[in-house]
Structure 1
């Protein structure tokens, strides 16, 4: 694997996520590895999320359940909520994206257990895709800007020091991501483009991943009607 996405990419922020286990027969076991990485919170456990914001209406028991699903200590949840709320729109953006690598690392150092399998995943979009993406995803007059949108607007390169895992075909939907895996499109990509996921469940050839994303974005496969692009995922040490 390459060291990381290069200067041809624009940072879309950083997630703290756990790996996902392949279960059942929904995904093709000949294509999808037993354990994979994804930026989609439809599939992966990501922290913190909206449950960590004080002003989001949610019962305390629900917040604790969400934290426990990520193996976060119950007794640290009030402190975590205070931290995430105070840093919202400064270091932490809607719904679950850190605007800087430093903020993601600070969160991990303070709240994520040392033996956790969670990792920091950097998101990056090819520069030639960024302007069109930003235009199509411009927030409405009464809408706030999601964290990914805020990061892309800065036009900053991904932070150095990470390991590129591959590219994922993701659909952007009001701040969150759907993955092509949410729609079991790995068979379709393999048949039409010869694209096969690597050991991380991602695609090594970014240009091929872009072809797959354009195919989904045209609405020909019945996936969620959102903006589909190929995103480079880079893993960083916590």
Structure 2
């Protein structure tokens, strides 16, 4: 089955503070769980991420001058469609430049790439079609280019995530609900050292389960995505 590029994410891993994964790491791009080093706070024209900006400034020791430089960089690259709303990069060189220019002092950052199987793309494109004056979400914008996954020696598959995408572009991970054991019991999936589903599975049945609001998950559309980690950043 073909898979298509959904975006790059610059992630700082945080240890879980609850559930079966307490004190462990999960390599998810969800900023419910990990820190995204590119966020709404990176753009000068939004007030959405101001609280997050305070946290990022304190946690990663970046100055007001650096924030101003980040804003200038992000605004330009947003207009050039090399970054998108929200948290997502569309261009690998842009990820590398952003990371090396603004966070060279942070050693444990990961660049993760997500890909969506062909079976999910049409639904995402229809569900998140831009309406009125609203701009396109970064994931939607990337998928609209239909960039097929390739065999890149600098990118290694680390597993599969189940993500619930909000209308604003943020997304949840299956781990927001601490349901790894539940999915293992119901569908026979296994989780690897990255905290992700190890192997291909019956995604149709699993996403149907996640999308049934009676099961208690966020009432947003849930999808499977393939997660890869860059080795050259």
Does TM, scored on the shorter chain, surpass 0.5? yes
Cα distance change of structure 1 residues 172 and 61 upon mapping to structure 2, 3 Å threshold? closer
Cα distance change of structure 1 residues 97 and 61 upon mapping to structure 2, 3 Å threshold? closer
Name the residue aligned to 1:99: 90
Measured after TM superposition, the shift of residue 16 of structure 1 is 0.2
Map of 1:47-66 to 2, 5 A cutoff? 47-57=37-47, 63-66=53-56
User: Which structure has more RCO (C-alpha within 8 Å, separation ≥ 6)?
Assistant: 1
Name the residue aligned to 1:21: 15
Q: Choose the corresponding residue for 1:73, options 62, 71, 80.
A: 62
Deviation string, structure 1 residues 48-99 (Cα, Å, up to 9, x no partner): 1001111112697863432333x25324221111101111142110111001
Name the residue aligned to 1:170: 163
Cα distance change of structure 1 residues 197 and 145 upon mapping to structure 2, 3 Å threshold? same
Name the residue aligned to 1:131: 122
Contact preservation (8 Å) 2:41, 2:50? no
Name the residue aligned to 1:207: 201
Q: Distance in 1 between matches of 2:28 and 2:50?
A: 28
Spell out structure 1 runs of 4+ moving beyond 4 A: 58-62
Measured after TM superposition, the shift of residue 208 of structure 1 is 4.1
Contact preservation (8 Å) 1:169, 1:209? no
Contact preservation (8 Å) 2:5, 2:142? yes
Name the residue aligned to 1:4: none
Q: When the two structures are superposed, what TM-score results if normalisation uses the length of structure 2?
A: 0.88
Name the residue aligned to 1:117: 108
Q: Does 1:196 align with 2:185?
A: no
Q: Which runs of 5+ in 1 are unaligned?
A: 1-6
Contact preservation (8 Å) 1:18, 1:37? no
Contact preservation (8 Å) 1:183, 1:223? yes
Cα distance change of structure 1 residues 100 and 158 upon mapping to structure 2, 3 Å threshold? farther
Indicate the larger mover: 205-214 or 124-133: 205-214
Cα distance change of structure 1 residues 62 and 182 upon mapping to structure 2, 3 Å threshold? closer
Measured after TM superposition, the shift of residue 215 of structure 1 is 1.2
Q: Does 1:40 align with 2:26?
A: no
Q: Which runs of 5+ in 2 are unaligned?
A: none
Aligned residues: 227
